[in-house]
Amino acid sequence: EITGKFPGYLSPSAGLKFADVPNGLAAISKVPAAGWGQILAYMAFCEVSQEQTPGSAAYAGDFGFKVLTASDPAEKTKKLNAEIANGRLAMMAIIGMFFQDGLTGSAWGDWANYTASPLRAFENELGVQAPVGFWDPAGFTADGSVEDFKRRRATEIKHGRISMLATMGYITPEITGKFPGYLSPSAGLKFADVPNGLAAISKVPAAGWGQILAYMAFCEVSQEQTPGSAAYAGDFGFKVLTASDP
């Protein structure tokens, strides 16, 4: 991307020049079979050419290349810590480059100039906000289907609200404690007997699961939620969460 390509042939037998290989992910399609063999052979060499069992220096990241590490133990620790931090950033960076490449055709592509993307259909929708803009790393909207987008958005709003309630339900007993008395008098189950977090699932009586499922059903059927309705777009008439002003 920055320095350009080598002159001449990458594979004379295949008639493949360095200049013929595109940058980024598109280069994968140009690798000859022998090239994949060389890549795999080098990977194998890196794995088996040095002792890397637990307890060895290589297992801790020290392959004896003191330009990257050091003979001084304190300096080596400092450099290895820096390498781990930089490696984490690099892992994020390469994934970011993959996505950018997939969307624009270049790891350095200018999104503003990429007008052909189906994602443009949704970049003015609710939820498009800095710093990620239109966030769809899995490419669900790549087909540009407005109907599918609206269905997924309705689902996202529901799941988001459930998750917010679940988060509050998860942490509130940890902070405020439990109600006094019985959760289920017939079962002799006190609120204090119910552990916090996932362990609480084991204490829910059968009638409790029935109540939970009945309430879920009520939420689904108590209001019109077909495509085009207000509820489908997330507005259930509870203006504390939304507003009368558009």
Is residue 221 scored above 60 in pLDDT?
yes
Q: Which token pair is 169?
A: 């339900």
Q: Which residues of 190-219 are buried (b: 16+ CB within 10 A; e: fewer)?
A: eeeebeeeeeeeeeeeeeeeeeeeeeeeee
Q: What is the pLDDT of residue 75?
A: 87
Tell me the average pLDDT across 162-189. Answer: 91
Q: DSSP letter for 16, please.
A: E
User: In the predicted model, what is the mean pLDDT of the chain?
Assistant: 84
Closest to 5 in 3D by CA, of 22, 18, 23, 20: 18
Q: For the chain, give the percent of residues with pLDDT over 70.
A: 91
Question: What is the DSSP pairing of strand 16-17 with strand 182-184?
Answer: unpaired
113 has pLDDT over 70: no
Mean per-residue pLDDT for 189-194?
A: 91
- Binding site residue list for chlorophyll a: 135, 159
How far from 229 is each of 149, 223, 224, 245, CA to CA, in Å? 15, 10, 7, 17
pTM, two decimal places: 0.49
What residue type is 74 in one-letter code? Answer: A
Proportion of the chain above pLDDT 90, given as a percent: 23
Choose the weakest-confidence range: 41-50, 130-139, 181-190, 233-242. Answer: 130-139
Tens digits of per-residue pLDDT, 44-91? 998 888 888 898 888 877 777 777 777 888 988 888 888 889 999 999
Confidence of residue 125 (pLDDT cuts 50, 70, 90): confident
| Residue 115 DSSP SS3 | coil
Q: Show binding-site residues for chlorophyll b.
A: 156, 161
Q: Is 203 helix (H, G, I), strand (E, B) or coil?
A: helix
Q: Distance between CA atoms of 153 and 159, rounded to whole angstroms?
A: 10
pLDDT of 109 reads: 62
Residue list for the binding site? 135, 156, 159, 161
Is the pLDDT at 174 greater than 80, yes or no? yes
Q: What residues contact residue 151 under an 8 Å CB cut-off, 6+ apart?
A: 227
Residue 6: pLDDT band with limits 50, 70, 90 = very high
3-state secondary structure of 210: helix
pLDDT at 242: 73
